[in-house]
Amino acid sequence: MGLSDLPYLTERPRQPVPKGPSRAEQNDQADKDDTRALNVWRAAIFKRDQGKCRCCGKKVKKTLELIPLRGEAHHLVSRAHKALRYDVRNGILLCHFPCHHHVTNGKLGIAQPARLMFSHEGKSYLDGSQPVEWIR
């Protein structure tokens, strides 16, 4: 078989190369999935805590307005810890001001006896579904 026996490129039938979603499309879908999961998590926190701030006991509102009585579903362990990101035990409902503001600025902390904590992968974490004590 010589070079003259080989088919020309024009003689070969073209077959489309199957392509999946681009990285941008994959990232966009991952963002949408994350937003959906976050909204489900927030709704579960609101329901479990009966729409009341777990620190001061005030009734909070679901709103986009930055008002003091806006309900904030606060992660006890950072969202960066993916295994606990949407675990309902990793959340607590707080009013926007002053409670959530003080917790995020380190002026107010949470204490919980070890017997009321939960374990994940050999580590203990605060359990937002249990009663908590506040440290000022």
Residue 90's region, left for phi above 0, alpha for psi from -120 to 50, else beta, is alpha
- Lowest mean pLDDT across 5-9, 21-25, 78-82: 5-9
Q: Where are the domains of the chain?
A: 21-135
The mean pLDDT of the chain is: 91
Taking CA 10 as the corner, what is the angle to CA 9 and CA 13, rounded to the nearest 5 degrees?
90
- The model's pLDDT over 77-114, given as tens digits with 9 standing for 90+, comes to 998 988 899 999 999 999 999 999 999 999 999 888 88
Q: Is the pLDDT of residue 74 over 70?
A: yes
Place of tokens 């006896």: 113
CA distance 91 to 56: 16
Cβ neighbours for 64, distance < 8 A, ≥ 6 positions apart = none
Report the run of H or E that residue 118 belongs to, with start and end. strand 118-120
- The model's pLDDT over 24-48, given as tens digits with 9 standing for 90+, comes to 999 999 999 999 999 999 999 999 9
